[in-house]
Amino acid sequence: MHIKKILNIRQTQSESLGGWLMSLPAVLGLALFMAFPFLLAIGLSFTNLRMGSPLPTRFIGFEAYQRVLTDPSFLRALMNNGLFALIVVPLQTVLALGLALFLNQKFKGIMFFRTLFFMPVVFPLSLVSVVWILMYAPGADGMINAFLQFISFGQISPQDFLHNPYLALPAIMLCSIWQGVGFQMVILLAGLQSIPDVLYEAAEIDRANQWQKFVHVTLPQLRNPLIFTALVTTILAFRVFDQVEIMTQGGPNGASTTVMYETVQTIFNRQQVGQSSAMTVIFFILVLVITLVQRSAAKQEREIE
């Protein structure tokens, strides 16, 4: 009995050691590529480091944070990021849910449609942005302009979407939704296919119609996939950069700038390493707070249920 107990302890220790060894590469990767750069950014944010400057680097405390938080360009970028997330996250989630419900049906050519709707996800954002620049071409010959004129019987005049301060950000939103909706769709489709048929059979016995099945069976069963996709989409919405850099360069007059775009401009064009580090730290804290609030709200809803 005593020997068996010793063997069990040794087996547990061996399994524990094996688990740590297998997770070591991932832990080292996270430490090297995420934790260390972030800690370095925190340290640099308290300095006046500027590339190419002859002045010595010195500690300036929270001065960089004060400059960032009073910078109109940064505040405009922050507002654009918030607006982007408020519109894109719910719109893209609802669209992805609709596509997942459609592609969960059984009909000929289902694999073709699943591939078609997921295809934009595998394209690099730089390529997608270039394609949408061509689609947004100003003048009556532009694809989007031609489409709008067709459906409005010529009542909508051609627009220069990417150089209009009111249309530049919505144009980037539309491009982002088109490119990213396939990712959400696949996750929600997997969630739909994991719902047991017995739940729908029970609902039929209770004479529930299609809408009642959707509200009382489908949506509750999709709760975790919906929370996951909303969290991921929110984080991605705050990381918008490629589309802005390629399609509008933050213009016109900062109408489509974002925090990531301002950060890159600050460090590479203005060479203000300390100030850009402060931007990244503020941005990280903001995204972390939003994520924790979302998780907390989801947890409270689960406890109420």
Query: pLDDT digits over 19-77, tens only?
Result: 788 888 888 988 888 888 889 989 988 988 888 778 788 888 888 898 888 889 889 99
Q: Is the pLDDT of residue 287 over 80?
A: yes
Residue type, 287: V
| Least confident among 52-56, 252-256, 262-266 | 52-56
Instruction: Specify which residues 294 forms β-bridges with.
Output: none
Cβ count within 10 A of residue 8: 10
Confidence at residue 302, expressed as pLDDT on a 0 to 100 scale: 57
CA-closest candidate to residue 132, choices 65, 123, 219: 123
Q: How many residues belong to the chain? A: 305
Confidence at residue 98, expressed as pLDDT on a 0 to 100 scale: 92
pTM for this entry: 0.80
Return the ∠ at Cα 197 (arms to 193 and 199), rounded to 5°.
115
Q: For residues 234 and 85, is the Cβ–Cβ distance under 8 A?
A: yes
